[in-house]
């Protein structure tokens, strides 16, 4: 274990009322054994209280040891949203590193991916007849990255690795993101520090990185998502369900929020076990989404 954690908590963050929030708790296997054990997965605290922010904080304070906490939601907002200037100087003179990165490296990554996709689609003429438009028109508009909408982490993961952390780019300013940012600040008052014991993760991106894009889509959208989730859990060879977890496995397979909470906690375990490092650049301040590294 590269980092000194023995407890890993994953939160699939829902709306402010807490009704669609789920929490999973994993613990290292006993001494002499390997892997990580699922201790509990809950959609309500002790089966009663929805996971409001105060309930989440209280739950974390109840833990006997400091946990690595992974949240499946944005924990930072785009650079322009967090800017405190009354007047915008414009992108040409903005000194914020994340803005400079997005308009230079980020835009270049997006255009490179656009060109690659354009060439690929243009080489398949049959697609134009099927979809009712020319292959060129399908990708006519070049993608743009904007610092009021996008974060560097999302752009880098999507255009460099082909991993889409959320359902679409630019979802870092909605209600879930607002709650995530508030929760990060609330947890800071209780000693949690971003990138040190508090991680932004994406269960979808974790599944994509460990398996493939089909499974990343399928655990929610397949005709039988239960089976897809079961296959994924079965292939996580160092994960097992402790006897005390009771019906947690059934909840994970039945409920997509429970499944995503479990994958979030498992991502925290991999981060601690393998000692993942923050990539160089603007991601310390702008935020990073922790995803398993590319397979060799």
Average pLDDT over residues 102-120: 83
Residue 263 token pair: 């994958």
In degrees, rounded to 5, the angle at the alpha carbon of residue 166 between the alpha carbons of residues 161 and 167 is: 110
Residue 134 has pLDDT above 60, yes or no: no
Residue 6 has pLDDT above 70, yes or no: yes
Give the confidence band of 31 by pLDDT, cuts at 50, 70, 90: confident
- Chain-centroid distance of CA 130 in Å reads 34
The pLDDT value recorded for residue 143 is 75
Give the three-class secondary structure for 201. Answer: strand
First-to-last CA distance in the chain? 21
Residue 121 has pLDDT above 50, yes or no: no
Q: φ, ψ for residue 100 (rounded to 5)?
A: -60, -40
d(CA 199, CA 71): 6
Domain ranges across the chain: 7-77+168-290, 97-150
Residue 137 has pLDDT above 60, yes or no: no
What Å distances lie between residue 56 and 59, 62, 267, CA to CA? 5, 10, 19
The pLDDT value recorded for residue 34 is 87
Give the confidence band of 106 by pLDDT, cuts at 50, 70, 90: very high
Give the confidence band of 117 by pLDDT, cuts at 50, 70, 90: low
The pLDDT value recorded for residue 252 is 97
Q: Tell me if 136 sits within 8 A of 125, measured CB to CB.
A: no
Question: What is the widest separation between alpha-carbon atoms in the chain?
Answer: 62
In sequence order, the β-bridge partners of residue 223 are none
d(CA 28, CA 36): 4
Closest CA to 259 of 217, 288, 230, 224: 230
- Per the listing, tokens 């590269």 go with 2
Q: Is 126 exposed, middle or buried (0-12, 13-18, 19+ CB in 10 A)?
A: exposed
Average pLDDT over residues 148-172: 86
Q: Tell me if 33 sits within 8 A of 22, measured CB to CB.
A: no
- The helices-and-strands tally (H runs, E runs) of the chain is 13, 7
CATH topology of domain 7-77+168-290: Nucleotidyltransferase; domain 5 (3.30.420)
What Å distances lie between residue 35 and 123, 160, 229, 236, 241, CA to CA? 46, 31, 19, 10, 11
């Amino acid at each position: 274990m590269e980092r000194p954690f023995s407890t890993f908590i994953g939160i699939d963050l829902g709306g402010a009322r807490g009704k669609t929030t789920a929490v999973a708790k994993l613990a290292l296997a006993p001494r002499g054994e390997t892997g990580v054990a699922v201790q509990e997965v809950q959609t309500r605290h002790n089966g009663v209280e929805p996971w409001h922010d105060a309930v989440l904080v209280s739950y974390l304070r109840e833990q006997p040891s400091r946990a690595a906490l992974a949240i499946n939601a944005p924990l930072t907002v785009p650079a322009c949203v967090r800017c405190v200037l009354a007047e915008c100087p414009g992108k040409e003179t903005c000194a914020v590193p994340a803005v400079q990165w997005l308009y230079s490296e980020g835009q270049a990554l997006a255009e490179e991916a656009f060109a690659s996709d354009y060439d690929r689609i243009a080489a398949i003429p049959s697609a134009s007849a099927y979809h009712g438009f020319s292959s060129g028109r399908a990708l006519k508009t070049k993608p743009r990255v904007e610092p009021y909408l996008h974060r560097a982490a999302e752009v880098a993961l999507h255009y460099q690795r082909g991993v889409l952390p959320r359902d679409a780019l630019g979802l870092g300013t909605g209600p879930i993101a607002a709650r995530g940012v508030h929760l990060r600040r609330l947890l800071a008052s209780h000693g949690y520090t971003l990138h040190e014991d508090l991680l932004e993760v994406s269960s979808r991106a974790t599944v994509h990185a460990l398996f493939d894009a089909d499974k990343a889509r399928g655990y929610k959208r397949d005709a039988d998502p239960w089976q897809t989730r079961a296959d994924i859990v079965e292939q996580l060879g160092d994960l097992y369900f402790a006897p005390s977890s009771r019906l947690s496995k059934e909840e994970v397979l039945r409920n997509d929020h429970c499944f995503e909470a479990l994958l979030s906690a498992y991502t925290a375990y991999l981060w601690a076990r393998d000692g993942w490092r923050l990539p160089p650049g603007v991601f310390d301040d702008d935020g990073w989404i922790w995803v398993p590294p590319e397979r060799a």
